[in-house]
Structure 1
Amino acid sequence: MFILVNGLLAGLGLAAMLALGDGLFATQTFPVLIDVSYVPGMENLPSIVELLIHLLISIVLAFFLMHFYPRGQAAAVAKYLGYWNLGFALAYVVFSWLSGTSMSWVGFLIWLLGHLLYSVMLMVQMERQR
């Protein structure tokens, strides 16, 4: 239950951050986050279904992030979350390309900040559980 709730909250926080960034800076990071039209059979899904798929993926990622979370020094935690965020950064390039969305440095920065928020939200909950 802990992972389910925190995965949902972190996923919603990420979606809200990207939507806000898109509104403020006219980027396209939120559509990159939820777009699944490149998956065969999922070409014409409503946006709400795409968002629910994103939240399901968020729960799965939260499970792995929290399951392997290092129980040690702050340096080990920072390194661990750094690797996760490197993966999230690479995901921006891949998913932008797959969805046909134009990439920008501002969009990339918003994507990174949103995923940093996602990671920190999960980290805070893990630290509270110690």
Structure 2
Amino acid sequence: MFILVNGLIAGLGLAAFLALGDGLFGTDTFSVLIDVSYVPGMENLPSIVELLIHLLISIGVAFFLMYFYPRGQSRGVASYLGYWNLGFAAAYVIFSWLSGTVMSWTGFLIWVLGHLLYTVMLMIQMEKHR
């Protein structure tokens, strides 16, 4: 239940941050986050269904991030979360390409900051849950 709730909250926080960034800076990071039209059979899903898919993925990511979380090692935590964020940064390039979205440095920065927020939200909960 802990991972489910925190995965949903962090996923919603990420989606809200990216949507806000899109509104302020005219980027398309939120659409990159939820777009699944490149998956066969999922071409015409409503946006709400795509968001629900994102939240399910968020729960899965939260499970793995929290399951392998290096408890009690502050240096290990920073490296661990850094590797996750490198993976999220690479995901922006891959998912932008798959969805046909124009990539920009502003969009990339918003994406990275949003995913940093996502991992920090999960880290705070892990530290509280110790």
TM-score of the superposition, structure 1-length normalised? 0.99
| Percent of paired sites with the same residue | 84
Partner of 2:87: 87
Residues 54-93 of structure 1: pairs in structure 2 closer than 5 A = 54-93=54-93
1:73 is displaced (CA, Å) by: 1.9
| Residue-pair matches, total | 130
1:107 is displaced (CA, Å) by: 0.2
C-alpha RMSD over aligned residues: 0.4
Letter in 2 for 1:104: S
- Runs in 1 of length 4+ with deviation above 4 angstroms? none
Partner of 1:44: 44
Letter in 2 for 1:4: L
TM-score of the superposition, structure 2-length normalised? 0.99
Letter in 2 for 1:92: Y
Partner of 2:29: 29
Does 2:32 correspond to 1:19? no
1:72 is displaced (CA, Å) by: 2.4
Partners in 2 of 1:73 and 1:35 — Cα distance?
Answer: 36
Partners in 2 of 1:9 and 1:71 — Cα distance?
Answer: 21
Partner of 1:108: 108
Letter in 2 for 1:83: Y
Partners in 1 of 2:110 and 2:72 — Cα distance?
Answer: 30
Partners in 2 of 1:78 and 1:124 — Cα distance?
Answer: 12
Partner of 2:98: 98
Partners in 1 of 2:5 and 2:100 — Cα distance?
Answer: 32
Q: Which runs of 5+ in 2 are unaligned?
A: none
Partners in 2 of 1:22 and 1:68 — Cα distance?
Answer: 32
